[in-house]
Amino acid sequence: MHTDYFHEHFQTITDQHQSTKVTHTLFEVLYGSLCAVIAGAEGWFDIREYILGHHEWFKNNDLIINGVPAYDTITRIISIIEPNQFHHEKHCNN
């Protein structure tokens, strides 16, 4: 699977989770969200519904194995990312 490319590209995004409370990694939520948005998701609820509907595929690819995150979990994880991290020089040059 080509998630390695995605992971490499976004590895500079800081995961600000409290490490003792992590059930869903930043990578999983970012990847699931991107897939959902490409498929037409228009909000947090839609992202969760997409992941829920494709959960077997995600699990078969060793992603989102701890169950589908609630939409408010997705919202919280994505919302704590500092937007300027997407403007990191590495992202702009690829």
Phi-psi region of 40 (alpha: psi -120 to 50; beta: other; left: phi over 0): left
- What pLDDT is recorded for position 91? 45
End-to-end alpha carbon distance in the chain = 20
| pLDDT, the chain, mean | 82
- What pLDDT is recorded for position 88? 56
Phi-psi region of 64 (alpha: psi -120 to 50; beta: other; left: phi over 0): left
The pLDDT tens digits of the residues spanning 11-43 come to 667 666 555 566 888 889 999 999 999 999 999
HEC states along 15-72?
CCCCHHHCCCCHHHHHHHHHHHHHCCCCCHHHHHHHHHHCHHHHHHCCCCCCCCCCHH
- What pLDDT is recorded for position 68? 95
| 44-62 average pLDDT score | 95
| C-alpha triplet 87, 64, 20: angle, nearest 5° | 80
Output the pTM of the full model.
0.76
| 65-94 average pLDDT score | 77
Q: Return the top range by mean pLDDT from 52-56, 72-76, 79-83.
A: 52-56
The pLDDT tens digits of the residues spanning 60-70 come to 988 999 999 99
